[in-house]
Amino acid sequence: MQLKQPIGASLTAAACGLLGTLPHVAVAADDSDRWQADTALFYWGEGDGRVQDMSLRAAVHRALGDDSSVDANLTIDTLTGASPSGAVLSNSVQTFTRPSGAGSYQVPADTTPLDDSFLDTRVAIAGTWQQALGESMRWKAGVTASGEFDYQHYGANAWLERDFNLRNTTLYAGAAIGRDDIRPVGGAPLPLTAMRGVGDNSSKLADDSKDVLDALLGITQILTRRSLVEITYSYGQSTGYLTDPYKVLTVVDAVSGLPVAGSPGSGLNLYLYERRPDSRTKHSVFGEWRHAFDRDSFALSYRFMADDWGIRSHTVEGRYRRNLRPGLYIEPHLRYYQQGAADFYRTELVNGAILPQFASADYRLAQGDALTAGLKLGRPSPDGEFSVRLEYYRQTAEPSAGSGIGYLANRELVPPLSAVIAQFGYKFSF
């Protein structure tokens, strides 16, 4: 049975009688926004003509019903600039053949050779579905794919987490597999063979691929009303073509330290394409402590990584969030990273010494450390959160043991890397 006419006006009058006054503002209540988006425009700029990256990222999240949600994200990267080819400097001009084999470039004396052949655009997409299983369990499944001119990736991942102990403890486990197809410009070179002259492709093979498996196991534990810790153990296994097809090692004379002559007729010094093992196993342990004050908060983390290439690394990172007022925050950030060299890292090879089974002069496999210092500024508002992040990255690396003969002694063989990070972000819901 229905009431004959709306009671709204009478009820309002009655409430006015009870309370004495009624509020003047209208009611504003509606379903919460179901879409959330997080976007960022990112710039990475190294000094000295090296790599510059401009990237656009967008991630969206949509809640569906009360126990599932979907996430999708898109990344577009454009890379320009030069990066070290692995060759060392010399006292005279050096000529190198471009990876495509269709041209060459020259590097002045006393300059660490940089290869500027990498102008590339990369597009990556990912999608994840999250579903609740009962009250305390959730699973996620996702796919990833990315493509560049010379590289393609496809992957799938799954994740399961369960709450215990009034949701104070959460255990999680995940696994991801990926297949990467590598199509180097000019073909993948035969490892540890000499760089040929322009137009000579006799040392090049076609394409190759690698398979990657990642698995992790972790726990998040709330300690007190203000603190929680998160600990994750990760395992990674890569198999296949793990070598960088564009990197070389210079073969230098055992006394002078200058490059020896390359393959006859090529007009080049002897540069051998690098070779890495065809498998790599990594173990990492990551721990983070997050703590909330009444207004501010901070996060402190440590990660240890060890792999079967002989690399050990330590990463310590801290962030302090200072919420100045509800609509403004600043967040200083500091990160220190230290790694040991890979067993087969050689800054250069010596003529006459036994050729190692594996060798690479990629500075990223050298012993060294890096420091990042930055500041983020954010402005949350009803229309969304705008943020700006500015960071400085400085990495230094050591040459391999026994490196630096003759001419190479007391010279900077592995130049340090300095870069600036600038990021503009906008997070909103609708």
Partner 1 sequence: MTKRYRLLRLLTLATLLAASGCASVGVKPWERDLHARSDMQPSELDVAIDDHIYFSKEASSGGRGFAGGGCGCN
Partner 2 sequence: MASPCEVLCETEEAAVANHISEHAAAEALRIEQKYSRYRDDSVISQINTAHGRPLSLDEETARLVDYGATLWRLSEGRFDLTSGVLRYAWRFDASQPPPTRAAVTELMKRVGWQHVDWKHPRLTMPDGMEIDLGGIGKEYAVDRVAEWISGQHAVPCLVNFGGDLRCVGPPPASGTWQVGIESTTQPGQAAGCIAVATGALATSGDTYRFIEIDGKRCGHVIDARTGWPAPHAPRSVTVAAPTCTQAGSYSTLAMLHGADAEAFLDAEGIRYWCLR
Tell me the window of 24-32, 112-120, 240-248, 416-424 that interacts with partner 2 (CB under 8 A): 24-32
For residues 316 and 338, the answer to whether their CB atoms sit within 8 Å is no
State the burial class of residue 106 (Cβ atoms within 10 Å of its Cβ: 0-12, 13-18, 19+). exposed
Cα 87 to Cα 149: distance, rounded to the nearest angstrom: 24
Tell me the window of 143-151, 281-289, 314-322, 325-333 that interacts with partner 2 (CB under 8 A): 325-333
14 binds partner 2 (CB under 8 A): yes
**Residue numbers 128-147 binding partner 1 by CB under 8 A:** 144-146
Q: Which does 199 bind (CB under 5 to 8 A by kind): partner 2, partner 1, none?
A: none
329 binds partner 1 (CB under 8 A): yes
Cα 197 to Cα 214: distance, rounded to the nearest angstrom: 40
What is the four-CA torsion angle of 244, 246, 252, 258, rounded to 10 degrees? -140
Tell me the window of 193-201, 211-219, 248-256, 267-275 that interacts with partner 1 (CB under 8 A): 211-219
Q: Which does 283 bind (CB under 5 to 8 A by kind): partner 2, partner 1, none?
A: partner 1
Non-local CB neighbours of 107 within 8 Å, separated by 6+ positions? 87, 89, 93, 94, 95, 96, 113, 114
For residues 147 and 157, the answer to whether their CB atoms sit within 8 Å is no
Determine the 3-state secondary structure of 350 from DSSP: strand
Q: How far apart are the first and last CA of the chain?
A: 39
63 binds partner 1 (CB under 8 A): no
Cα 164 to Cα 357: distance, rounded to the nearest angstrom: 50
**Residue numbers 366-425 binding partner 1 by CB under 8 A:** 370, 376, 380, 389, 393, 395, 417, 421, 423, 425
Q: Which of 26, 106, 202, 410 binds partner 2 (CB under 8 A)?
A: 26
| Structure tokens belonging to residue 35 | 């879409």
Going residue by residue from 293 to 322, which x/- string records binding to partner 2, judged by CB under 8 A? --x---------------------------
Quote the least distance from Cβ 379 to partner 2, whole Å.
Answer: 9
225 binds partner 2 (CB under 8 A): no
**Residue numbers 181-200 binding partner 1 by CB under 8 A:** 182
The length of the chain, given as a count of residues: 430
Tell me the window of 70-78, 114-122, 218-226, 374-382 that interacts with partner 2 (CB under 8 A): 374-382
DSSP 46-81: ESTTB-EEEEEEEEEEEEETTTEEEEEEEEEEEEES
Closest CA to 209 of 157, 158, 249, 150: 150
Handedness of CA 60, 61, 64, 69 (dihedral sign): positive
Quote the least distance from Cβ 168 to partner 1, whole Å.
Answer: 3
| Structure tokens belonging to residue 7 | 């009671």
390's enclosing H/E stretch is strand 384-398
Count of chain residues binding partner 1 (CB under 8 A)? 102
Non-local CB neighbours of 264 within 8 Å, separated by 6+ positions? none
316 binds partner 1 (CB under 8 A): no
Cα 111 to Cα 116: distance, rounded to the nearest angstrom: 14
Count of chain residues binding partner 2 (CB under 8 A)? 38
Q: Which of 64, 110, 133, 283 binds partner 1 (CB under 8 A)?
A: 283
Q: Which of 255, 381, 402, 424 binds partner 2 (CB under 8 A)?
A: 381
Tell me the window of 19-27, 165-173, 189-197, 260-268 that interacts with partner 1 (CB under 8 A): 165-173
158 vs 350 by CB, closer to partner 1: 158
Q: Which does 315 bind (CB under 5 to 8 A by kind): partner 1, partner 2, none?
A: partner 1
**Residue numbers 69-98 binding partner 1 by CB under 8 A:** 73, 75, 79, 83
329 vs 363 by CB, closer to partner 2: 329
207 binds partner 1 (CB under 8 A): no
Q: Which does 354 bind (CB under 5 to 8 A by kind): partner 1, partner 2, none?
A: none
For residues 106 and 93, the answer to whether their CB atoms sit within 8 Å is yes
CA angle in degrees (0–180, nearest 5) for 399-403-404: 100
The Cβ-side half-sphere exposure at 80, using a 13 Å CA radius, reads 5
Q: Which does 14 bind (CB under 5 to 8 A by kind): partner 1, partner 2, none?
A: partner 2
| Structure tokens belonging to residue 380 | 């949350």
Enumerate binding residues for partner 2 (CB under 8 A): 1-3, 6-8, 10-12, 14-15, 17-19, 21-23, 25-33, 63, 66-67, 135, 295, 325-327, 380-383
